[in-house]
Amino acid sequence: MLSTPEAKFACQAVAQVSGLVKQIQGEMVSPALTKNDRSPVTVGDYAAQAVFASYLQDTFPRDILVGEEQANALREPEQAETLQRICGFVKRLIPSATPDRVCDWIDRGTGEPAERFWTLDPIDGTKGFLRGDQYAVALALIEKGEPILGLLGCPNLRLPEFFPHDDPGVLFLAIKGQGVAVTSLEKTKTWHPVSVSEVTDPSQTRLFGSYESGHTNDTQVVSFREKLQTVLDPVRLDSQAKYGLLAAGAGEILVRFLSASRPNYREKIWDHAAGMLVVTEAGGMVSDLDGKPLDFTQGRELTENRGILATNGKVHNAAVAAIREIGA
């Protein structure tokens, strides 16, 4: 799978960033954390983006990074303590890090999409991260509007069918035209090809769902399941880890309806570029709710698309038809 310099670089970078973020989760997330305290994910997001941006600067200095974070707030005096904490974590991988360098690295992610660029979600699945549960480090390389390389680092995900004796943590790698494989974050040596499930009966599909209700429309999810006559319980977890499990055959449908509170919301590219390629290279299909391909040529958002539908491919047409019938 590591047939290109980009793939080798990306795998090493995502593995190291995933390990760092897992340390941050382990040290900062505790049962005593208050409901509104987002400090662990704030530190994790910034530290992860800084590390990756530094690696990218050293390896592909001309490449653009489109990230989720920017450092404006961190440069304010009242954020000095938070910045020092972020810098302390970054130093674990980059001993030469300083607060100023960390801010500069983070701001490297403010680039605008171009003919070739990387897009990073340093911690996808905020609520899962804060619960001590599932999240993902999601990275994609996009050229001419097409994701050609996609990686999902899932530090808490188990795939016992492939890694029965390893600690939690897997890394999915998809290369356009070459398929998708998964390895253990613990070892990153043995790669196993994965493929979507063979389920063709919509009533036997397993739907992926988030714990965060604000990401979709729960009423439409119920109507959608009724229309498909699904009898199996949904698979609930946060983040683009769902894309990885879909690619590995652990479910058949992932759908994101438009939230009733945000009917005009458009998805961010870093929330789906890596996961989309992982699913499609495993034999699945990804579109918007209307069945249109995702359009990554419109900037930082999928402005030409409504919602998300990812399936094993065998039930995609049935899913699109059901979405149309319920008026979603």
Copy the structure tokens of residue 248. Answer: 């590995």
**Residue 152 CB-density burial (10 A; 0-12 exposed, 13-18 middle, 19+ buried):** buried
Q: State yes or no: is 238 an active-site residue.
A: no
Spatial separation of the C-alpha atoms in residues 112 and 110, rounded to whole Å: 7
- 126 in catalytic set: yes
Amino acid identity, residue 76?
A: E
Phi and psi at residue 20, to the nearest 5°: -65, -45
Phi, psi (rounded to 5 degrees) for 121: -110, 105
Q: Residue 299: left (phi > 0), alpha (psi -120 to 50), or beta?
A: left
End-to-end CA distance of the chain: 39
Task: Spot the catalytic one: 107, 119, 124, 126.
Answer: 126
Identify whether the C-beta of residue 286 lies closer than 8 Å to the C-beta of residue 310: yes
Q: Is 199 left (phi over 0), alpha (psi -120 to 50) or beta?
A: beta
Considering 45, 107, 271, 288, which one is annotated as catalytic? Answer: 45
Please check whether residue 311 is in contact with residue 176, taking contact to mean a CB–CB distance below 8 angstroms. no
Residues tagged active-site: 45, 126
